[in-house]
Amino acid sequence: MNTRSLFLSGVSRERLARTVAIAAVLLLVVALLAVVVACGSSGSSSSASPNAGAIKMGGVLKIGSQPGNINFDPALFAGAVPDILLQQQIYEKLVTLGQDLSVQPTLATKWDSPDGKVWTFTLRDGITFSNGQPFTSADVVYTMDRLRSKKLGSAMADVYANIKSVTAPDPTTVVFTLASVDSEFPASLTDYHTLMLCKSVKNPAKVAVGTGPFTLKSISAEDRAILMKNPTYWGKDAQGNQLPYLDEVDFIYSPDIAGQVAGLQGGSLNWVGGLSAEQKQAVEGSSSLKAVTTNTNYCFELQIRTDQKPGSDLKFRQALMAGTDRQAIVGLAAPGVAVPGNGTLVGPAYKADYLTTSVPYDQAKAKQLLADAGYSSGVKIKLVAQTTDPVPAVATAWQAQMKQIGVDVSIQQVPVDVFYADKGQDNWYQAAFSVVDYGTRAVPNNYFQQALVTGGAYNYSRWSNPQFDALTKQISTELDPAKRAKLYQQAQAILQDQVPMMNFLVNTAVAGQSANIDGVFLAPDYAQSLFRDAHYTQ
């Protein structure tokens, strides 16, 4: 998404409140905690280990990126991919989502809970912010209190509504007390909004002070951002060498990804993420470049406003679902770098939680549903599509399919920064029909609770379904994985039937980079990729 889609890509998870009999809860929590604690107590930081090849210290990495909105406040930040990617290099989280969707230690070294309601996190000692101030548990309390603040206007307030308090008994200990049991609470802290702030910074939207491997030297929204090596960064590699290896990371802004790939081929850029199938092939065809991939749940979906016609008509929405051939769209827009969605935001990466069945492609049924909705003579709609690949190709392929069933789709293409702006008729929140991208989240309920439940912070569809809302609460309170998977599948079946949105495809993250670059952590949500270990090879 070159959005992020906040998600919208911005979206998080609020998990598991438990209301089972006390004895059963304790037994299940203990079993689950053993696994979670093991993950939190062992392992290193989440950045990727350098690949084979001698490491060359220093150098400048030039990254192709679309223009962002220059908002450094994670609590208020909507979520364009360029902004997220930049922030990830300056700030850090307590924990990070690994390439296998596991929760990995970052600023926190371990975590545990005796009952699933009181979670204690141990922080790394001796870490400082880029302004020289120490990072302590007080900064975690400050950051989390802002994220939970409805008064501030944080989009994460509902996500973290289950947190009763965040306290700091000592500088390296943080205690989260929850209102109800949540055995997967650490996963909720992998969201890109949870970057840790320095409590002394009065306006984090304008001043970027973090614990990350790089610091912000300068930024121009339509030109570039320059990041410099943080000389006081805490990270070291396996041999004890100070990280990061690079001296500088430059984000070169351009709305044209094809132009960025051309820059990669010409040597003016060293890394470009979010590549299409065609761009991946171009990179693979150059001996001076290489493509890297990571499985994701990065989705592209049709957002439908259900509070106004024609999207308010269920049969009309069902006609769109029946008339959409998602496999064909993948073949046209993203061959080899995506799989068809099942119509919901839950993709195959979630394994047992994923509903493998989907609404069959049926043109005849789609036409009949349109007629039943009162559109036997056809209907015209406008689709707002951001310029991020593969959105233009997806929109064009879908436009052709809709024409076959009697829906005349006009496409309004807008730049990413306009699409995810706070205001405007053709932005992600106001458009009647739009193509939105969602980044990978640790658990599916993240999408449900932010983007689909009644009143959710990113419920663009303005959709409300009491049965679905109830299921999301059950998911949050169900400790048994098998039972929880069935609840997830029931929720997806409702989404397939009610069609408040429709997922076209699930991307594989693809980045192109210079052949002499290694060590980049290509995240499942590629906007959260890390350059901490990136380096040139000898």
Res 69: pLDDT: 73
> Rounded to whole angstroms, how far apart are CA atoms 327 and 344?
15
> Rounded to whole angstroms, how far apart are CA atoms 452 and 14?
13
Question: What H or E segment, with its residue span, contains residue 229?
Answer: strand 224-229
* Predicted structure pTM score: 0.71
Q: Residue 6: is its pLDDT beyond 90?
A: no
Domain spanning 296-508, CATH architecture: Roll (3.10)
> Rounded to whole angstroms, how far apart are CA atoms 98 and 242?
22
pLDDT in tens, 421-430: 877 778 888 9
pLDDT in tens, 277-295: 889 999 999 999 999 999 8
Between these two residues, 488 and 15, which has the higher pLDDT value?
A: 488
Res 273: pLDDT: 92
Judged by DSSP in three states, 256 sits in: coil
pLDDT class for 66, splitting at 50, 70, 90? Answer: confident
Between these two residues, 78 and 58, which has the higher pLDDT value?
A: 58
CB-CB contact of 216 with 90 (8 Å): yes
* Number of separate helices (H) and strands (E) present in the chain: 14, 22
> Rounded to whole angstroms, how far apart are CA atoms 295 and 305?
30
Q: How many residues does the chain have?
A: 538
Tokens encoding 46: 């989440």
Query: Phi and psi for 507 in degrees, rounded to 5?
Result: -80, 155
- Region 156-170 average pLDDT: 93
State the amino acid at position 137 in one-letter form: S
Long-range contacts of 396-400 (CB under 8 A, 24+ apart): 396/333, 397/328, 397/329, 397/332, 397/333, 398/302, 398/324, 398/329, 398/504
> Rounded to whole angstroms, how far apart are CA atoms 495 and 252?
39
Tokens encoding 436: 């939105």
pLDDT in tens, 135-159: 999 999 999 999 999 888 887 888 8
Mean pLDDT, all residues of the chain: 87
pLDDT class for 202, splitting at 50, 70, 90? Answer: confident
User: If you average pLDDT over each of 30-34, 333-337, 410-414, 454-458, which comes out highest?
Assistant: 410-414
- The structural domains of the chain, with segments of one domain joined by +, span 296-508
Q: Residue 511: is its pLDDT beyond 80?
A: yes
> Rounded to whole angstroms, how far apart are CA atoms 250 and 86?
10
